[in-house]
Chain A
Amino acid sequence: MKLAKDEIALPNNLACPGCGASLAMRLALKALGRDTVLVIPACCWTIINGPVGKNYAGVSVFHTAFETTSAVASGIKASFKMQGKDHINVVGWAGDGGTFDIGLQSLSGAAERNDDIIYVCYDNEAYMNTGIQRSSATPYFAQTTTTPEGKDRPKKDLMGILAAHYVPYIASASLAYPQDFTKKFEKAKSIRGFKFIHIFVPCPPGQKFQEDKTIEVAKLAVETGVFPLYEIIDGKYVLSKKPKFVDITEYLKLQGRYKNLTEENIEFLRQAIKSKWEYLNKRFNE
């Protein structure tokens, strides 16, 4: 499958070099098309999209308060329905802080109502825009400015939380697999009701790796089994790509946020990946 040629997102936005979130928007809009409006809360994309007068996303954007992405998107969709413009994709585009943490309530509200919107969480695993503070998406042992000792709790299972809302479509996607990525956005576009897409976006300054390693980090997140690629379609779990289960050290050693890990920590992570996949495999085989 070829990617759409249409470049909707514009070049020269205000992202850091090597920004995964910038590339995620470019790919997502290729699949979503121009009949799309975005709701963007406080997150890196508030800055990336440029100051007053600029709009690097290339589609209409409503910048909103941190915790309101889903509710604002629900309101936009309801209005478009009343106006007979139901074909427009209404897309919430939020970071992990605005999704896993402060935005979780309104996300849950919109999912429970099965409002016909697409919610995208671009997850760089910390509050990168405010300077790398931990979020509930920050994984075990990752160092942030508020967890200098490394985080002592696991990453919240957001896919599981969404699955508990019985919505028609949930998927995880990776920048390292653009065909799979865009296919999932196209699928989300074609389904009525609430759609959730979770993208892991590597962040060079926040995760502390060289800015030319973004795709390599994204790819290793999948290949080590850290970030599984799958869909939950009407409650049915479908695996998108079986990892090679490359040893996790390959992934960890690229990133400065894991520089203090002990051999014991690494073994703990190996076991965590194993038990996560045991849990997922049961669901894939259901």
Chain B
Amino acid sequence: MKKVLGGNDAVSQAVSVCDVEVISAYPITPQTSIIEKIADLIYTKQMNAQFIKVESEHSAMAACIGASIAGSRTFTATSSQGLLLMHEVLHWASGARLPIVLANANRAIAPGWNIWAEATDSLSQRDTGWIQLYAANSQEVFDFIIMSFAVAERSLFPAMVCLDGFLLTHTKEAVEILGNDDAKPLLAKINRDTLDPKNPKAYGALAFPKDYYAIKKQQHLDMLKVFDIFDNVALEFKNITNRYHKAVDVYPTHISDYSIVALGTLSQTARLAVDNLRKEGVDVNLVKINMFRPFPKKQLQELLSNKKLIVVFDRDISHGKGGIVKDEIAGGLDLCNVVGFVGGLGGDTITESDIVSCFLDAKNSQIKGLFL
């Protein structure tokens, strides 16, 4: 069935078909309509869940941690400053191996105050041990939320689905949705270690260096297993929906001289730029990153290792370094033929012609990467 949904509606709709038992959240623009809709679904008995209306995002994540360690399927949504306030407890959720799912409406970070799209908020959480998925349209938002619950519970890692503020959260488009029964086969309940008075244990106890090191090493090795888990979930999801989401997408073809790399809605704009460039006879493709953590090194190596030039577009910034995605691509794949552009910060406009001209400047060696 198709429905016309904004990105935020797609999140709430997906959460409502996943048998989520506990939601805890705090309002922040542009995430608010996600939790308003969930509150309404619970009030009208279309969803059977507890909604803990907390006094901050820090407590929102803490309450999710409590609900998850007690055994419930758990969800929250946030954005920008809210995600930053959660930062400490994001580590706690992943360290305790809790399969919490979070939707983050990507938004710029103050000062100055700005409520519009930018991915610095979630990209700067890359080291918190969370799976990170970036959606480019409402269909992906809907699909990624459902897939995230499956991947999180099978891997015992929390997962965040990121969607650009307003560009995606508040823009409506047709979305093919699933019913509750359709999602069920993907989301069979998995037995995991949870709080039980009959089996008293201490979770997260004091760890001396040797224990601590072993725990953190195992966490990393287990995170690498997420690639296979994601692939399995993606195939099962394809069998149900006929839609196939890989960790990294390529458009239109694998073989090309040049590549443009982007994530989120920026990849939609870049896709149009690739079309325009190819019309002009430039042999370029788009490499669209859906999964940012764990870092899909192998997939990206296959797609990017033999290019004349790779141009990465970032709607985010690491001050004193540059674009975060560019840095990940160049450093993560040991490539020196990568040029990066930072643009669109705080929701500033990037058009496909901006991307075309930056790409051509880089290709013609006039610019080695700068602000757009």
With A35-B197, A113-B52 known to touch, is A63 a contact of B63 (CB < 8 Å)? no
Smallest beta-carbon distance B125→chain A, Å: 16
- Contact between chains at A75 and B53 (CB < 8 Å): no
Task: Tell me how many residues of A have a C-beta within 8 Å of chain B.
Answer: 47
A36 partner residues in chain B, CB cutoff 8 A = 197
What are the residues of chain A within 8 A of B211 when measuring CB–CB? 51-52
Chain B's nearest CB lies how many Å from the CB of A282? 31
Q: How far is the CB of B194 from chain A (nearest CB, A)?
A: 8
A31 smallest CB distance to B (angstroms): 15
By secondary structure, the A interface counts as mixed
Contact (Cβ within 8 A) B54 A71 = yes
> Which residues from chain B contact A47 at a C-beta distance below 8 Å?
206
Contact A59 B197, CB 8 Å, known A78-B50, A78-B63, A109-B59? yes
Near A by CB (< 8 A), chain B positions 349-364 give none
- Residue A144 interfacial (CB < 8 Å): no
**Pair B65/A72 contact, Cβ less than 8 Å:** yes
Min C-beta distance of B184 to chain A, whole Å: 18
The answer to whether A68 touches B58, judged by C-beta atoms less than 8 angstroms apart, is yes
* B207:A51 contact, CB within 8 angstroms: yes
Given contacts A50-B202, A51-B205, A75-B24, contact A105 B52 (CB under 8 A): no
B202 touches A113 (CB 8 A): no
Taking residues whose C-beta sits less than 8 angstroms from the other chain, chain B's interface range is 35 or more
Query: Given the complex of chains A and B, what is the CA–CA distance between A265 and B208 in angstroms?
Result: 44
> Is residue B219 contacting chain A, with contact meaning CB distance below 8 A?
no
A108 on the B face (CB < 8 A): yes
When distances are taken between beta carbons in the complex, the residues of chain A under 8 Å from B67 are 75-76, 78-79
Contact A106 B207 (CB under 8 A): no
Cβ of A115: which chain B residues have Cβ within 8 Å of it?
Answer: 52
Note all chain B residues with C-beta closer than 8 A to A57: 200, 202
Closest A residue, CB atoms, query B207: A52
CB < 8 Å: which of B53, B204, B208 contacts A62? B204
Q: Does B322 contact A (CB under 8 A)?
A: no
B203 with A61: CB separation less than 8 A = yes
Q: What is the CA–CA distance of A187 and B282 in the complex, to the nearest angstrom? A: 77
Contacts A51-B208, A73-B66, A75-B70 given; indicate if A59 touches B200 (C-beta within 8 A).
yes
Once the chains bind, are A37 and B197 in contact (CB under 8 Å)? yes
Q: Point out the residues of chain B lying under 8 angstroms from A172, CB to CB.
A: none
A74 touches B202 (CB 8 A): no
Most chain A Cβ neighbours within 10 Å, of B56, B197, B202: B202
Please, which residues of chain B bring their CB within 8 A of the CB of A39? 66
Asked if residues B58 and A106 are in contact (CB atoms below 8 Å), the reply is: yes
A278 part of interface (Cβ distance < 8 Å): no
Is the CB of B279 closer than 8 A to any CB of chain A?
A: no
Contacts A64-B62, A75-B24, A75-B67 given; indicate if A106 touches B201 (C-beta within 8 A). no
A52 to B202 CA separation, bound complex (whole angstroms) = 8
B71 touches A79 (CB 8 A): yes
CB <8 Å contact, B62 and A65:
yes
A176-190 vs B, Cβ < 8 Å mask (1 yes, 0 no): 000000000000000
Cβ of B72: which chain A residues have Cβ within 8 Å of it?
Answer: 78-79, 82-83
* B42-74 residues at the A interface, CB under 8 angstroms: 49-50, 52-56, 58-60, 62-72, 74
Chain A contacts for B92, CB-based, 8 A: 64-65, 68
Q: Is A67 an interface residue (CB 8 A)?
A: yes
Pick the residue among B24, B49, B60, B202 that contacts A63 (CB under 8 A).
B202
Give chain A interface residues in 143-184, CB to chain B under 8 Å. Answer: none
Residues of A within 8 A of B312 (CB): none
Q: Beta-carbon contacts of A16-35 to B below 8 Å, as 1s and 0s? A: 00000000000000000011
Answer whether residue A136 sits at the interface, using C-beta atoms and an 8 A cutoff: no
Nearest CB to that of B211 among chain A residues? Answer: A52
Q: How many Å lie between the Cα of A75 and that of B73 in the bound state?
A: 11
Is B88 located at the chain interface by the 8 A CB criterion? Answer: yes
B199 at the interface (CB under 8 A from A): yes
Check: B327 CB closer than 8 A to any chain A CB: no
Check: A49 CB closer than 8 A to any chain B CB: yes
| Residue B195 is within 8 A (CB to CB) of chain A in the complex | yes
User: Nearest Cβ distance between residue A112 and chain B, in whole angstroms?
Assistant: 7
Considering the complex, give the chain A residue whose CB is closest to the CB of B60.
A71
A71-B58, A75-B63, A77-B66 are known; give 20 further A-B pairs, CB within 8 A. Answer: A46-B205, A49-B206, A50-B202, A51-B205, A55-B202, A58-B200, A62-B203, A63-B205, A74-B24, A75-B24, A75-B52, A75-B62, A75-B64, A75-B65, A75-B70, A75-B74, A76-B195, A79-B74, A112-B55, A115-B52
Residues of A within 8 A of B (CB): 34-37, 39, 46-47, 49-55, 57-65, 67-68, 70-83, 88, 105-106, 108-109, 112-113, 115
